[in-house]
Amino acid sequence: MIEFINQLKSRNETLYYYGLLCLVLSIVFIVLTKFSNITVYNVSAWYKPFKFAFSTFLFAWAMAWYCYYLPHFNLSLFNWSVIILLGFEIGYIALQAGRGQLSHYNISTPMYAALYSMMAIAATLVTLYTAYVGYLFFANEFPSLPAYYLWAIRLGILLFVVFSFEGFVMGSRLTHTIGGPDGGDSIPILNWSKKYGDPRIAHFIGMHALQVLPVLSFYFLKNTKTTVVFAFIYGMLAVFTLVQALQGKSFLQTHSKQSSVKAENQ
């Protein structure tokens, strides 16, 4: 781990420190869930900034590692685009959490509507920039990288981009729950609905392909065909949870019902 951190720092010091800052912020936010009584939808308001800060930490470090491989790539422009755009998103989410107000889907005033739109634009720009990075990985050859690892990076970025844009499914509805109201019974920390459809599950699975696929391929799969097949299965899992959500069905509830039926048949 120490060797990885030292290498990461030498590859992209700017995103290394930004990711580290996001990690520290995520720890602060998760601690606040235990000491603050501010709630939104009957859960601590600090869970949302925690999730976004921690996710940004993972994104920043992953992209710092991958972009190092790209020839003639403007790292400084990419770094500061990520820092400014995602920094604004985390800052606004944390500000609203501290005020006990919604950040996402909040169009109750012209100011909130404008800030929500700015968050959507920021996320879109980062996703488009990441898509460009993915294009560069497809367009260039990397003879020094194992083929299976290269394909894991390519497919990880591809799935990240697709399921990042899947966020528009929620944005267009101004809700993250389908088939019921936001704020119902949910699993701890992630707050995914236990009773209704929740597109955030697919959003989470797909976007974290960015880290999951390269790590698994490099350390465990070590085969191009196996990597591609696993990426396909992983992507289909994200698609399945999205279809379930759009039907207003909870993946967890469906699994629970199947387990109950199986137990009754035994």
Q: So what's the pLDDT on residue 54?
A: 98
pLDDT for the residue 253: 66
pLDDT value at residue 126 = 98
Q: Looking at residue 260, what is its pLDDT?
A: 44
pTM for this prediction: 0.93
d(CA 183, CA 191): 8
Residue spans per domain, the chain: 1-140, 144-256
Instruction: Give ∠ CA 216-254-157 in degrees, rounded to 5.
Output: 30
Question: What pLDDT, on a 0 to 100 scale, did the predictor assign at position 252?
Answer: 74
d(CA 143, CA 146): 8
Mean pLDDT per block of 10 residues along the chain (266 residues) reads 94 98 98 96 96 98 98 96 98 98 95 96 98 98 97 98 95 92 89 94 97 98 98 98 94 55 43
Separation in Å, CA 173 to CA 31, 106, 124, 166, 169: 31, 12, 17, 12, 7
Q: Which of 194, 177, 171 is nearest to 247 (CA)?
A: 177
Given this model, what pLDDT does residue 261 score? 38
Strand stretches in 31-81, DSSP E: 39-40, 43-44
Phi, psi values for residue 198, rounded to 5°: -140, 100
70 close to 136: Cβ distance less than 8 angstroms:
yes
What local confidence, expressed as pLDDT, does residue 236 receive?
98
Burial class (CB in 10 A: 0-12, 13-18, 19+), 80: middle
- Return the residue matching tokens 């290394």: 16
